[in-house]
Amino acid sequence: MFESIQVAPADAILGLTEAFRADPNPHKINLSVGVYQDASGKTPVLESVQRAAKRVVEKLSSKSYLPIPGSPAYAAAVQKLMFGADHEAVASGRVATSHTPGGTGALRVAGDLIHQNLPKTTIWLTQPTWPNHPQIFAAAGVPTRTVPYFDAKTNDLAWDELITAVNQIPVGDALLLHACCHNPTGIDPTLDQWNQLADVMSRRGILPLVDFAYQGFANGIEDDAAVLKTLVGPGSELIICSSFSKNFGLYCERVGALSLVAADGKTADAVQSRVKKAIRANYSNPPAYGGELVVTVLSDPELEKLWRSEVDQMRDRINGMRKLLVETLKAKGVPGDYSFITRQRGIFSFSGLTREQVETLKKKHAIYIVGSGRINVAGITKDNVGPLCAAIADVVKG
């Protein structure tokens, strides 16, 4: 039977990393993969996480299963991080959080929940979006469509087109928005634009599905969560898919969360019972270790303070590299105004490089960038920024 199965195309982004590994050029640079890297090009284990890990191992008493939605302590910690200590939605019991294997797991459970319980719902995605979004929802059996998001002429948000399109999404559909650090463009709506989006969605009965994979990487832990508060008015409904891969550096531990906000506690309980059914048939219950690390950090004031300072450092380094990139492009004589890169947020930047230029950068200079021109700014260091910009100058000037 297997003979009839054709080889699947390699994952566009992870395939590039494989090609990078195989490249013998000692000066090669990989700006394709979506992980944070420090000034020495490493993806570090955070000090706060290292310290939490010791405590978790010491107090380990059982490896028995967790409940289907994970531990209540984890749910409480995630809710506090998103909404603060005493938000009305949390206090009134209308938020239900499940620990999922990463943000990807949360998105898949959200897809299953929608497919199984809201069968007429289409999920609208921004154009462009993280390439895994359409794949995840296709696997869950939920149809997707797109709204415009990026204006290539101005390298900015296509705001008028976006809000016009959101106004035309049919009632009962869902709209997936990135809370901050939009992947792949690095461009986020302003808080005022978020308020307008929230207003249209609640007025028209569109379910907000928020991908929250970079809390703390745009402007700060609380500032980034402010977006959620524009969506959580009295009686409002939404789904938030969190990831702690980036802000805790827990990529391989698979730590994420699906939080649903319903109009009241009774509805939240009913929907959560359906989330549990979806999880049970998907991966049964979550992996405990990464969640324990997050809870340990967030429940100890000293560790939490350390963690917050580490998130600040990661964000500051990325923003510093954005500035250095723009300065060095100018110094190397690359034509054009690249100052938009400093206005983008998160680890990604839509550089404006064309598919052909990206291909030449790979073949001629061993610089690996995703075909869309998306670069991982965190992959830039003081050492590689010079050769990188010289190579960009070469391909841009032709």
By rule CB under 6 A, what count of residues binds ligand PLP? 12
Q: How far is the CB of 196 from ligand PLP (least distance, A)?
A: 22
- Which of 173, 211, 229, 307 is catalytic? The answer is 211
Give the Cα separation of 59 and 182 in Å (integer): 38
Name residues whose C-beta falls within 8 Å of residue 224's C-beta, 6 or more positions apart in sequence.
179, 180, 214, 215, 216, 217, 218
* Residue choice 74, 130, 137, 350 for contact with ligand PLP (CB under 6 A): 130
- Which of 130, 188, 224, 332 is catalytic? The answer is 130
For 358, phi then psi, to 5°, come to: -60, -40
Q: Which is nearer to ligand PLP, 214 or 340 (CB)?
A: 214
Q: Would you say 317 and 325 are in contact if contact means Cβ atoms under 8 Å apart? A: no
Q: How far is the CB of 250 from ligand PLP (least distance, A)?
A: 8
* Cβ atoms within 10 Å, residue 102: 25
Give the Cα separation of 121 and 137 in Å (integer): 11
- Which of 229, 246, 332, 362 is catalytic? The answer is 246
Give the Cα separation of 119 and 273 in Å (integer): 17
Task: Answer yes or no whether residue 188 interacts with ligand PLP by CB under 6 A.
Answer: no
Task: Answer yes or no whether residue 115 interacts with ligand PLP by CB under 6 A.
Answer: no
Task: Answer yes or no whether residue 287 interacts with ligand PLP by CB under 6 A.
Answer: no
Q: How far is the CB of 243 from ligand PLP (least distance, A)?
A: 3
Residue with tokens 């200079």: 365
Q: Would you say 335 and 357 are in contact if contact means Cβ atoms under 8 Å apart? A: no
* Of 52-60, 101-109, 168-176, 298-306: span binding ligand PLP (CB under 6 A): 101-109
* Joined tokens for residue 302: 């000293």
Angle at 197 between CA 69 and CA 164, to 5 degrees: 130
* Of 42-50, 97-105, 319-327, 373-381: span binding ligand PLP (CB under 6 A): 97-105
* Of 63-71, 99-107, 155-163, 222-230: span binding ligand PLP (CB under 6 A): 99-107
Task: Answer yes or no whether residue 178 interacts with ligand PLP by CB under 6 A.
Answer: yes
* Joined tokens for residue 341: 């890169």
DSSP 193-213: HHHHHHHHHHHHT-EEEEEE-
* Residue choice 31, 34, 230, 294 for contact with ligand PLP (CB under 6 A): 34
Q: Is 130 a catalytic residue?
A: yes
Pinpoint the alpha helices (H) of the chain: 12-22, 47-59, 72-83, 88-91, 102-117, 132-140, 159-166, 191-204, 221-231, 265-280, 288-298, 301-331, 340-343, 355-365, 385-397
- Could you tell me whether strands 238-243 and 256-261 are parallel, antiparallel, or unpaired per DSSP bridges? antiparallel
* Of 53-61, 98-106, 261-269, 272-280: span binding ligand PLP (CB under 6 A): 98-106
Q: How far is the CB of 189 from ligand PLP (least distance, A)?
A: 15
* Residue choice 111, 128, 216, 256 for contact with ligand PLP (CB under 6 A): 256
Q: How far is the CB of 16 from ligand PLP (least distance, A)?
A: 14
Q: How far is the CB of 31 from ligand PLP (least distance, A)?
A: 14
SS3 121: coil
Q: Which is nearer to ligand PLP, 98 or 243 (CB)?
A: 243
Give the Cα separation of 254 and 258 in Å (integer): 13
Task: Answer yes or no whether residue 211 interacts with ligand PLP by CB under 6 A.
Answer: yes
Q: Which is nearer to ligand PLP, 238 or 324 (CB)?
A: 238
Give the Cα separation of 361 and 45 in Å (integer): 31
* Residue choice 97, 155, 183, 357 for contact with ligand PLP (CB under 6 A): 183
* Residue choice 79, 89, 95, 103 for contact with ligand PLP (CB under 6 A): 103
Q: Which is nearer to ligand PLP, 99 or 178 (CB)?
A: 178
Task: Answer yes or no whether residue 102 interacts with ligand PLP by CB under 6 A.
Answer: yes
Query: Could you list the active site residues?
Result: 130, 211, 246
Name the residues that contact ligand PLP, by CB under 6 A.
34, 102-104, 130, 178, 183, 211, 213, 243, 245, 256
